Amino acid sequence: MSRPETVNLPFNATVLADRFVPATQGMPDSGEPGIWAVIRGGALVVEQREGGLCLPAGERPAWLPAGADPVVIGRWEGRPLRAVPMAAREELPPSVVAEPFNASAERLDEATLTLGGMAQQVLHWERNSRCCPRCGAVTERISGGWGKRCVACDAEHFPHIHPCVIVLVRRGDEFLLARKPEWAPGRYGLVAGFLDMGESLEECVRREVREETGVEVTNIRYVGSQCWPFPSQLMAGFVADYAGGEIRVDATEIEDARWFCTDLMPPSIPPRRSIARWIIDHYALNLEES
């Protein structure tokens, strides 16, 4: 799939096109057969069928534990799409697998990946918004969206989505890639980090690059974004130009950072379904994905 823009990346709703209609409010569950996006301990439960791995479809799957509470998140191809949490200890029948799902999950098609991402984000919010963070009383859903209102103090709460920046720094033909200690050997990616209070996205870019690598940047430009439902981030992508400084790695977050070029690439770079790779392909390697 050609991806001229980041909206076409998985986890962004554009991937679903008009096949998906979001629930407009605490949509009552019609009880009719539908599609089941079951999240089991951070993995997406899928069935092995002839065409590949698919979300379970039809009546409520018999293997869903009795206590599992579905949330209708919209309609997928005309049928209700329900998100359901399931504990990792619960067993699955042999034809059903819990598939790790992230941008590296090549066995899942992009629509399935995106529906799973939405389910994960919705369930994360549902799990974390049962009680009012102000007074501790229970909350109820505000009609028209995913907001919650406290039954005791009336405070309203809305889904928490955490902005992160991710940035490619360029110096002539070279570009700066860094690696975290927990990544697979040889894997390098972009500098990234969470937005801080009192900070614009561009200021966050400047701070993260400085903190993690010791490098100063200028000419910071926004290039697109990707929903990152692990569990609830928004990745805002940037490119920036080198302005000065020598690489000095912050050993608490980064294991190594180096200047690379097209003739000297690390053994492994981020998966093609991530905005990190999209930025590398478009702004470091000048490739159009095909």
Chain positions contacting Zn ion, by CB under 5 A = 132, 134-135, 137, 150, 152-153, 155
Write down the least CB distance from residue 156 to Zn ion, Å.
10
Considering beta carbons, is residue 58 or 133 the nearer one to Zn ion? 133
Instruction: Extract the tokens encoding 193.
Output: 């980090």
Q: Nearest 5°: phi and psi at 111?
A: -70, -45
CA distance 175 to 282: 12
Write down the least CB distance from residue 222 to Zn ion, Å.
37
Considering beta carbons, is residue 13 or 153 the nearer one to Zn ion? 153
Considering beta carbons, is residue 158 or 194 the nearer one to Zn ion? 158
Write down the least CB distance from residue 137 to Zn ion, Å.
5
Write the DSSP string, 136-178: --BEEEPTTSS-EEETTT--EE----EEEEEEEEEETTEEEEE
CA distance 245 to 250: 14
Write down the least CB distance from residue 159 to Zn ion, Å.
17
Considering beta carbons, is residue 135 or 287 the nearer one to Zn ion? 135
Write down the least CB distance from residue 139 to Zn ion, Å.
8
Do 239 and 283 contact (CB within 8 A), yes or no? yes
Write down the least CB distance from residue 160 to Zn ion, Å.
16
Instruction: Give the torsion through C-alpha atoms of 152, 128, 161, 282, to 10 deg.
Output: -170
Considering beta carbons, is residue 157 or 282 the nearer one to Zn ion? 157
Considering beta carbons, is residue 157 or 273 the nearer one to Zn ion? 157
> Residue 239, Cα to own-chain centre: how many angstroms?
20
112-129 exposure pattern, b = at least 16 Cβ within 10 A, e = fewer: bbbbbbbbbbbbbbbeeb
Q: Nearest 5°: phi and psi at 161?
A: -120, 125
Considering beta carbons, is residue 27 or 155 the nearer one to Zn ion? 155
Spatial CA neighbour of 25 closest among 123, 143, 147, 118: 143
Considering beta carbons, is residue 89 or 130 the nearer one to Zn ion? 130
Write down the least CB distance from residue 127 to Zn ion, Å.
18
Write down the least CB distance from residue 129 to Zn ion, Å.
12
> Residue 237, Cα to own-chain centre: how many angstroms?
13
Instruction: Extract the tokens encoding 256.
Output: 């190594």
Assign residue 117 a region (left: φ > 0; alpha: ψ between -120 and 50; beta: otherwise): alpha
DSSP state of 288: P
CA distance 227 to 233: 6
